Structure formats: C-alpha cells, structure tokens
Structure 1
Amino acid sequence: MEKENANRTRIIGLRLTPHEYAKIEKKWRASTCRKLSEYVRRSLFEKPIVTTYRNRSLDDFMAEMIRLRGELNAVGNNFNQAVKKLHTLHQIAEFKSWLIAYEVEKKTLFNKVDEVKNRIQKMSETWLQ
C-alpha cells in the first residue's frame, strides 16, 4: 500500500474572502481533520469527513469543574503547609498564631467543598430536566 502523501508535489493557490475562509475554517474545526489541507482535500475528492459533536452543557460543566478543582488544590496546598508548620513549632506564641491561621484555612476549605457540592447538584439537576 503506497503512502498517501508520497507524491504530493503540486500546489494550488486559492484566494478567498475573509467570510469564505471563516466558513471553511469553521467546518474544518468541527471535523476530526488535523490540518486544513486534509479537510479541503477530502472535500474536493468527496471523501467522507467525520465531524465532531460537542455537548455544550458537558463542556460548560467540565470547565466549571476544572476551575473548582484548581481552587480546591490551592486551598489544599495552603492547608497542608499550615499543618506542616504546626508540626514543627516549639514555641507557644508561634503555635497560637498558626492555630488561628489553621482555623481560617479550615473554614475556607469547607466553604469551597460546599461550593463544589452545590455546583454539582445544580449541574445534575439541569441535566436531569
């Protein structure tokens, strides 16, 4: 079986208006073709073009979960640093200040966890409708 790209030595120049190019680019981005030239070649030779279907609500959900995961990671890192610091303290005055900081971080962590739970609940209710 010969390679598909082995004899591609000829170039066709094609001028398009910005509107025409945007239309082609939109169709190309909705397909599974990695390169615009591949998409145009398939279109010209009437080969099948596989298009992707994106579930907008799922995309929105994933973006929201990624954002919340980042926030939880940041809070978790701060919490871990506070706990490590508490384990190394030897003086009572320093211990008290870190204990107060620990309580603040704990409240922040629990608030973020509750926010994640609420967002997941809202998204699941939306999907179930």
Structure 2
Amino acid sequence: MSRPKLSEKDQLRKLIRVRVNDRVYERLMSLQKQTDCRSICELARRILSKERITLLHKDISMNGVMEELALIRKELKAIGVNINQQTHYFHRSQRVAERAFFTKKTEGLYLEVDNRVTLLLKIVDQLAQKWLQK
C-alpha cells in the first residue's frame, strides 16, 4: 500500500541543509527520543516551523502497578476462556449430572473473577487517590 499523496499546501518544497556540532546533534537525538517525532529531521522541521512537539514522559513509579494490572488482565482472560469452554461442554452434555458438574465448576470460576475484579478495583482506587489529589 503506497503512502497517500500530500496536499499542495503540505508538500515539502525547499531543501535546507544544516550542519551542527556533535553536542547539538546529541541534544537533538536525546530530545527526539523523548518526543513523538520519528526522526531528527521531523523534530528540526517542527522546531523551525514552531509546531507543537509532544514530549513523552514515563513514570517509573508506575512500573510495578502496571505489571500487576497486566497480570490481572491475563488471569481474567484465561478465566474467561475457561468459562466459555465449560459453557460449551454444558450445552453439549445430555445428562443432568454432567450439567450439574459444569455448573458447579463454572461457579468456582466466577468466584475467581469476583476476587480478581475486587483486587483490580482496589488498585484503581489507590491510583485514583494518588493521581486525583486536590
């Protein structure tokens, strides 16, 4: 798939070459890594045209929380897959005893979901208290 054509207004018309020393180049490289710009050229164009540059900031204090949230998400997904499988087996079973077995087993999984959601809500509450302070 080819890149869409730029409008007449957005087409780049003139080539400007700039030479910088190593110190300025390193500063531009470090700034580019912190922004949404994909290249140093794009960063330089935005600086010259006084366009907005979005700086990206990563809060390392959130690493542990994000890992825990990702783990909870993974567990909830696995439990959901198990519930879907057991529901499928429940509908395929003919005997009442089998249906009772799958019902009881699925009930245990729903209790696990309840525990994980409670933990998730507790974490979200702590995050809200931290980030929504007045």
TM bin, normalised by shorter chain, reads: 0.5 to 0.7
State the percentage of identical aligned residues.
20
Aligned CA-pair RMSD: 3.9
Equivalent residue for 1:56, pick from 55, 59, 64? 59
Q: How does 1:15-34 map to 2 (within 5 A)?
A: 16=22, 21=26, 23-34=27-38
Which residue of 2 is the match for residue 84 of structure 1?
A: 88
Which residue of 1 is the match for residue 12 of structure 2?
A: 5
Which residue of 2 is the match for residue 127 of structure 1?
A: 131
Q: Distance in 2 between the 1:99 and 1:42 partners? A: 61
Q: Distance in 1 between the 2:9 and 2:121 partners? A: 55
Normalised to the residue count of structure 2, the TM-score between the two structures is 0.59
Aligned AA for 2:75?
E
Q: How does 1:89-128 map to 2 (within 5 A)?
A: 89-128=93-132
Change (3 A) 1:110 1:42: closer
1:74-127 CA-to-partner distances (Å, cap 9, x unmatched) read 322322332232122112443344234213212211111111111111111212
Aligned residues: 122
Residues 39, 49 of structure 1: 8 Å contact kept: no
Structure 1 range deviating more: 80-89 or 47-56 = 47-56
Normalised to the residue count of structure 1, the TM-score between the two structures is 0.61
Change (3 A) 1:63 1:4: farther
Higher RCO (CA 8 Å, separation ≥ 6 residues): 1
**5+ long unaligned stretches in structure 2:** 1-7
